Amino acid sequence: MQDTPPSSPIHVYFALLPGSLVLDWAGPAEALRIANQALVGRGQPERFVQHFVSPTPQSVTSVGAVLTGLEPLPATLPTPAWVVLVGLAGKHIDVAGDEARALLHWLRGLRPVAGQLELVTVCAGSVLAAHAGLLTGRRATTHHLHLDELAAVDPRCDVVANRVFVADGAVYSSAGVTTGIDLLLHRISDTCGPALAAQVAQAMVVALRRGPNDPEFSPFLHHRNHLHPALHRVQDAVGQQPQADWSVPQMAEVAHTSPRHLTRLFLEHAGIAPLQYLRRIRLATAEAALRSGQNVTQAALMAGFSSDTQLRRAWHQFGRGGTPSQGASPGHTH
């Protein structure tokens, strides 16, 4: 599967108040920075433009470090844009201060619309969103210590417990702290493709997780919860060019190891043989092509299958229902 083609840059606004939890915004910000770096490495333009905004140009973080040079809350937002709200130090979110009131006033003027203006909350950032009325009628989650607070602030918000993150239209909320990284990896996958998200996760040395309410991970993210750099290089290469004429020796060249040793590494660290992994990636590529309107012959060619017959064989080998031509229908699931 090829990653999403280059599109308009997404402006990401991290809205920070005094006492903002550093890991809530620094982890997601690093994920976006690494995503940009990976895109440039592929010869593509950066996709994310990061802004750190606040009602005041200086703010003290949760750990006491002082942030300076913060941008003011923008009067208008470009399209597309994401606004990221993060948690604050303390058992309850205090919105009585001047800075918090200014932020809530600004937030009340936002109208999240998918693909245009999207809201992302990390930890108790969802409580701030609720105070601004942005979660009314929506499903959202937050840190487990703030679940009751969120429900009390906006009784019309459907508060979901025990979730890594929750997506509801143009609003995305995560349970807190490190799950903000999970959520941003999910959004990077949505906007730049799962292969790039896997590359970012590997660079950050974090396991790719999913929320219990989310669909199963793409095959591009399966077998990647390991830390072996040679295997990640091979998996990145196969994911970027599944239609190439791959063999185990060619994969071994990417890994800078012998074919036999590569097979041993795949089985030990990824739990799958190299050619089996390749077939999974090619099948995922073909499925994406079918969903986008390609016929079976075109999908087979794009995915690197030598023929329609080989695609059909893989289709049944991996337990897909029906036939590839039926897999192109919008209602098909697997």
Residue range 253-287, pLDDT digits in tens: 999 999 999 999 999 999 999 999 999 999 988 88
User: Looking at the structure, do residues 196 and 235 belong to the same domain, yes or no?
Assistant: no
User: Looking at the structure, do residues 160 and 263 belong to the same domain, yes or no?
Assistant: no
Burial of 182 per CB tally in 10 Å (0-12, 13-18, 19+): buried
Q: Which of 188, 204, 220 is the last residue of a domain?
A: 204
Residue 218 lies in a domain: no
User: Looking at the structure, do residues 37 and 182 belong to the same domain, yes or no?
Assistant: yes
Q: Which of 154, 170, 204 is the last residue of a domain?
A: 204
CATH number, domain containing residue 178: 3.40.50.880
User: Looking at the structure, do residues 72 and 14 belong to the same domain, yes or no?
Assistant: yes
Lowest mean pLDDT among 60-74, 128-142, 197-211: 197-211
User: Looking at the structure, do residues 130 and 42 belong to the same domain, yes or no?
Assistant: yes
Domain extent at residue 191: 10-204
CATH number, domain containing residue 290: 1.10.10.60
**Distance of alpha carbon 155 from alpha carbon 126, whole angstroms:** 13
Residue 56 lies in a domain: yes
Q: In total, how many domains does the chain have?
A: 2
Of the pLDDT bands very low, low, confident and very high (cuts 50, 70, 90), residue 131 is very high
Of all residues in the chain, what percent carry a pLDDT higher than 90?
66
Residue 216 lies in a domain: no
pLDDT of 246 strictly over 80: yes
User: Looking at the structure, do residues 115 and 24 belong to the same domain, yes or no?
Assistant: yes
pLDDT of 202 strictly over 80: no
Residue 100 lies in a domain: yes
**SS3 annotation, 245-270:** CCCHHHHHHHHCCCHHHHHHHHHHHH
User: Looking at the structure, do residues 236 and 173 belong to the same domain, yes or no?
Assistant: no
What pTM does this model have?
A: 0.70
Q: Which residue has the higher pLDDT, 117 or 202?
A: 117
- Beta-carbon contacts of 29 under 8 Å, excluding residues fewer than 6 positions away, are 14, 50
User: Looking at the structure, do residues 233 and 200 belong to the same domain, yes or no?
Assistant: no
DSSP helix/strand/coil, 125:
helix
User: Looking at the structure, do residues 34 and 168 belong to the same domain, yes or no?
Assistant: yes
